[in-house]
Amino acid sequence: MATTDDVMPVAVVTGAARGIGLASSQWFLARGYRVAMIDTDGAALCEAAAGLGDASRVLAIECDVSDEVQVAAMASQVAQQFGRIDALVNNAGVAVFKPLLETTFQEWRYVFATNLDGAFLCTQFCAPVMLRNGGGSIVNIASISGLRASSLRVAYGTSKAALIHLTKQQAMELGNQGIRVNAVSPGPVDTAMAKLVHTPAIRADYHDAIPLNRYGTPQEIAEAIGFLCSPAASYINGQMLAADGGFDAAGIGLPTLRR
Ligand SMILES: NC(=O)c1ccc[n+]([C@@H]2O[C@H](COP(=O)([O-])OP(=O)(O)OC[C@H]3O[C@@H](n4cnc5c(N)ncnc54)[C@H](O)[C@@H]3O)[C@@H](O)[C@H]2O)c1
């Protein structure tokens, strides 16, 4: 006989120790999901999970999403402890911002390993668990840098552009099995990642270029992710939703014309 736990939906969120991943975990918990929080930073992950204050509905798993063996073990642990997966948020990401000719092959591979291989691997191992209960929803966290080329982002931007195309490939093949796959492309969001690479001058430039004239918050990105995972998005598959304050829409946005 099914217990309440068996039917309580389960979300797997990667890069969940902080930022957009942590806000997404909170979004799912607030809506009755159980959440498997995945991150390489074990200490930060434990602290974040403990801070959510609902130990019975949270499973924190230290796992590197770019490592096939670790991802396989993670998916089977979630299946064993929670019995199902309904939503997967491929959010873990890293950035190396450097001039093109100074970017080493190791840096290129490091960025692709997490941002692209990670989403591929987590989907390969979580989707079969989703299918046991008829399907679910996957959201890949890309970036506005995957839509618009910009300085210093040869590895990061290219990995995110590839992730947007991976989303379409996954949506095509998994859609007819019951799994919808979409992407969210955040513009600049106030998180540790942004603090690492955005100087005050860069922040001012972003404010100038974004029609809403500000950074987004992790919670605003979590709302877009949550929507795509929810039944309200039941006919949305293979799409990329930019949550970016209008940054992408602004196109060339000549400063002189804006003022
Ligand atoms: N913050 C922004 O301005 C912004 C803009 C566009 C897109 N994004 C994307 O949103 C996602 C989250 O960004 P954030 O700003 O919250 O980042 P963040 O750096 O604050 O958090 C990322 C988390 O991912 C974890 N992580 C990194 N590599 C991992 C791996 N191999 N396996 C498991 N976990 C790993 C980190 O430990 C960290 O906890 C990323 O994919 C990022 O590229 C962020």
**List 156, 206, 215, 235, catalytic entry:** 156
pLDDT per position in the chain (259 positions), as tens? 455 667 899 999 999 999 999 999 999 999 999 999 999 999 999 999 999 989 999 999 999 999 999 999 999 999 999 999 999 999 999 999 999 999 999 999 999 999 999 999 999 999 999 999 999 999 999 999 999 998 999 999 999 999 999 999 999 999 999 999 999 999 999 998 888 878 899 899 889 889 999 999 999 999 999 999 999 999 999 999 999 999 999 876 677 777 6
- Mutating to test ligand 1, I would choose from 13, 14, 20, 64 the residue with most ligand atoms within 8 A of its C-beta, which is 20
The protein residue whose alpha carbon is closest to atom 41 in ligand 1 is 93
d(Cα 72, Cα 63) in Å, to the nearest integer? 10
- Any atom of ligand 1 within 6 Å of the Cβ of 41: yes
Residue with the smallest CA separation from ligand 1 atom 34 is 39
The pLDDT value given to residue 1: 45
What is the β-pairing status of strands 136-141 and 179-186?
Answer: parallel
From the CB of 237, is ligand 1 less than 6 Å away? no
* Global pTM exceeds 0.95: yes
Q: Where are the domains of the chain?
A: 8-189+219-243
Active site residue 156: yes
Residue 193: the pLDDT is 83
- 93 Cβ closer than 6 Å to some ligand 1 atom: yes
Alpha-carbon span 25 to 222, nearest angstrom: 8
Q: Minimal CA–CA distance to 187: which of 226, 213, 159? A: 213
Ligand 1: atom nearest CA of 21 is: 16
Which residues lie across from 179 on neighbouring strands?
Answer: 136
The pLDDT of residue 42 is 98
Q: Tell me, what's the pLDDT at 194? A: 86
Position 110 scores a pLDDT of 98
Question: Residue 30 corresponds to which tokens in the numbers above?
Answer: 């607030």
CB 182 within 8 A of CB 236: yes
CA 232 – ligand 1 centroid, Å: 26
Alpha-carbon distance of 252 to 209, in angstroms, equals: 9
- Would you put residue 217 in left (φ > 0), alpha (ψ -120 to 50) or beta? beta
**Predicted pLDDT of residue 253:** 65
If you search the block for the tokens 């430039």, which residue do you land on?
A: 205
Q: Which CATH architecture has domain 8-189+219-243?
A: 3-Layer(aba) Sandwich (3.40)
